[in-house]
Amino acid sequence: MEKIIIFDTTLRDGEQSPGASLGVKEKVEIARQLDKLGVDIIEAGFPISSTGDFESVRAVSQAVKRPVICALARAKEEDIKTAYKAIKGANRKRIHVFLATSKIHMKYKLRKPEDEILKLAGKAVKLAKKYCDDVEFSPEDAARTKEGFLFRVLEAVIAAGATTVNIPDTVGYSTPHEFGALIAKIRENVPNIKKAIISIHCHNDLGLGVANSLAAIKNGAKQVECTINGLGERAGNASLEEIVMALKTRSDFYHKATSIKTPLLYKTSRLVSHLTGMIVQPNKAIVGQNAFSHEAGIHQDGVLKKRSTYEIIKPEEVGFTESFIVLGKHSGRHAFSRRLKDLGYKLTKKETDSAFLRFKALADKKKEIFDEDLEALIEEQLEKIPKSWSLSYLQTKSATTSSPRAIVGLRGPDGKIQRASSIGDGQVDACYRAIEKIIKQKGKLEDYSIQSVTGGKDAMGEVRVRVKFKKHIISGHGASTDIIEASAKAYLNTINKLIARRQTKT
Ligand code: KIV
Ligand code: ZN
């Protein structure tokens, strides 16, 4: 299958999202992840725009060696020289020159006539070409540019040496049918078009960024510019993960491939969200928390019988570990019984029937039923009193120059106190390792969250954890004004539940 070049502009156009600005360190971290993800080109920034951007592009050029590193420049000598200076250290480099060509931009923003724009574009590409073989040109606002003029500009910049011509829908105005047709017309009407790669760059103001990009690919575009999580100016750019998964999932229709390692998509999305502070909406396609969650009873039953009844993508294909069955008032008996089994309970049919009735009653009052709710429900039904471990004392030490250390004392089921100490990656990790030494159980922390449940400096913090002990995932919680203590209590809570379950059920 023919390959579509993935040009990631998360660090340039993505960073232009209001409130998403990134420092040099964060940009390098994201660039390293984009490299692992397999993107072909990283647009690292717009070096003339600020010293920080210049430094970021320079640092990314030095840190990441496989992908092409691209820097943006206006069609101005100073911009082009600065862009080159920033990417000089890169293994493979590209200068991306842009100049607006739509009537509205030329008249009101640039105040220049068509002929002058045409000359400036050619001149800028020629200058960039002196520094770098790989030159991309973007006629900004191409989707609103007069077609005849757009063809002339493209012909001129290719003649001047542009190796890629990018067609931006700068304001997200186009529609899939129209944008696809524009690419087809460019292929027919620009005489030297075969000498350059056609790229597209779609914004999402009408929510059509991905659809427009795919229509362009269907009509012969070979490079697509996109961002992780669809970050970007205003409503953002076309989302990388959506384009890549559309091409992959519907390869029967598009017949195109990419070099993206799709199981890294979720991790990359989380990293970008974490570093930019831009939260991903839960129902976002591919990487949203709900993308693989099933709520309706009929869907849950179908997915449990055969996943492809309601899932067109396997969650692990994009880096989720599993699909989620969200238990709530719409859930049926099948999903309920499966969840109990996953939690390690072995109930008789009669016990399950009775538990299901109680679960339905609870689900009418509570929107989502968590594992802890189910555990409380079953434990209450089986009248089981677990023998437990409790925290007797806890001491932690942390300094910038040494590894965090924790000393833990636990009162065991026999009433005696046992003590252990450990170092760890952080105070919580050290504390968990010390607990594990005493209990002689090792769990894998799958999820950890902390929330303040009261206000003020002495707020009570509640820690919730999900821990995997061999095949069982157990959730626990603990509260304290000290977050390390709350963390220790939450972990002990899961251990006590595990012991109780082993004693009575499995
Ligand atoms: O949206 C746009 O037109 C751009 C260009 C600089 C390519 O981001
Ligand atoms: Zn853009």
Lowest mean pLDDT among 70-79, 136-145, 333-342: 333-342
Shared domain check, 160 and 121: yes
Nearest CA to ligand 1 atom 8: 13
Q: Which domain holds residue 432?
A: 390-504
Ligand 1 pocket: which of 7, 43, 138, 212 to mutate (most atoms within 8 A of CB): 138
Which candidate, 322, 306, 326, 305, places its Cα nearest to that of 314? 322
Quote the CA–CA distance of 393 and 279 in Å, as a whole number. 38
CATH number of the domain that residue 193 is part of? 3.20.20.70
283 within a domain of the structure (yes/no): no
Shared domain check, 216 and 150: yes
Shared domain check, 340 and 269: no
195 within a domain of the structure (yes/no): yes
Ligand 1 pocket: which of 101, 140, 212 to mutate (most atoms within 8 A of CB): 140
Q: Specify the pLDDT at position 375.
A: 77
Shared domain check, 173 and 304: no
- Ligand 1 pocket residue status of 98, Cβ below 6 Å: yes
Q: What is the mean pLDDT of residues 413-434?
A: 93
Q: How confident is the model at residue 476 (pLDDT cuts 50, 70, 90)?
A: confident
Quote the CA–CA distance of 230 and 202 in Å, as a whole number. 10
323 within a domain of the structure (yes/no): yes
Shared domain check, 454 and 306: no
Nearest CA to ligand 1 atom 4: 170
Distance from chain centroid for Cα 407: 37
SS3 category, 283: coil
Q: Of the bound ligands, which one is closest to the alpha carbon of residue 46?
A: 1
Shared domain check, 398 and 364: no
378 within a domain of the structure (yes/no): yes
422 within a domain of the structure (yes/no): yes
281 within a domain of the structure (yes/no): no
Domain boundary among 356, 382, 408: 382
Q: What is the mean pLDDT of residues 432-450?
A: 91
Q: How many domains does the chain have?
A: 3
Determine how many CB atoms are found less than 10 A away from the CB of residue 22: 22
Q: pLDDT tens for residues 148-184?
A: 999 999 999 999 999 999 999 999 999 999 999 999 9
Q: Specify the pLDDT at position 351.
A: 87
Tell how far the Cα of 14 is from the centroid of ligand 2, in angstroms.
Answer: 8
Q: What are phi and psi for residue 351, nearest 5 degrees?
A: -65, -40
Shared domain check, 422 and 370: no
Domain boundary among 362, 382, 402: 382
Domain boundary among 364, 382, 400: 382
Beta bridge partners of 394: 408
Shared domain check, 317 and 208: no
**Mean pLDDT (the chain, rounded):** 91
What is the side-by-side strand order in the sheet with 417-423? 390-399, 402-411, 417-423
Q: Is pLDDT above 50 for 305?
A: yes
Shared domain check, 164 and 38: yes
Atom of ligand 1 nearest to the CA of 140: 3
Nearest CA to ligand 1 atom 2: 170
Quote the CA–CA distance of 427 and 395 in Å, as a whole number. 10
Quote the CA–CA distance of 356 and 366 in Å, as a whole number. 15
Atom of ligand 1 nearest to the CA of 141: 3
Shared domain check, 94 and 73: yes
Determine how many CB atoms are found less than 10 A away from the CB of residue 104: 12
Q: Is pLDDT above 60 for 102?
A: yes
Kindly give, in sequence order, each residue whose CB lies less than 8 Å from that of residue 158, ignoring residues fewer than 6 positions away.
Answer: 165, 190, 192, 193, 195, 196
Shared domain check, 113 and 172: yes
The dihedral over CA atoms of 54, 59, 61, 64, expressed in degrees to the nearest 10, equals -150
User: pTM, whole model, 2 decimals?
Assistant: 0.74
* Buried b or exposed e, range 386-409, using 16+ CB within 10 angstroms: bebbebeebebeeeeeeebbbbbb
Quote the CA–CA distance of 322 and 366 in Å, as a whole number. 24
Which candidate, 253, 242, 193, places its Cα nearest to that of 221? 193
16 within a domain of the structure (yes/no): yes
Shared domain check, 240 and 103: yes
- Ligand 1 pocket residue status of 168, Cβ below 6 Å: yes
CATH number of the domain that residue 400 is part of? 3.30.160.270
450 within a domain of the structure (yes/no): yes
Tell how far the Cα of 90 is from the centroid of ligand 1, in angstroms.
Answer: 23
